[in-house]
Amino acid sequence: MSLPLVYLVITALAALLLLALLVRGGLARPMTVWGLTALLPLLVALSVALGSQARAEVTLKTYRPQSAAVVITTGGQEYDAVLTAGQAACLERSRRLRTDADLVLGEGRDPIPLRSGFKVTGELPTQAQVEALSVRGQLACPEFRHVEQTK
């Protein structure tokens, strides 16, 4: 039995116990009811977090990190870039979330402005893979500098 399933069963049992105590008033002390009520959100959060981690692990089993040669079109200009697997994943996330950022690929190179609506030609990781990397804490984007949107 997997850990997320164990927490889900414990959560369901705690909810049933609380329901039984509430239906049959007088069986439990107030602190018992309060304790079970306080414990339920924690158990639900743990169940969801562990389930998300398990799904991310399954998704990443088929993920093979590799560098990517891409062409980024933004503001009417095209930029050629060879990205590491991590940079490609961050670029996919930035494109999907439509965030404004500057991609700094190294000393002496001008940053690539990634503005809303930029387009990417080339192979990037899938959305599911990028989300799984985020959930697992394996997505770091130090080359991406957030840019405030001006209105």
pTM over 0.85: no
User: In the predicted model, is pLDDT for residue 63 greater than 60?
Assistant: yes
Average pLDDT over residues 57-64: 93
Tell me whether residue 47 is exposed, middle or buried, using C-beta atoms within 10 angstroms of its C-beta: 0 to 12, 13 to 18, 19 or more: buried
- The predicted pLDDT at position 5 comes to 84
Average pLDDT over residues 50-63: 92
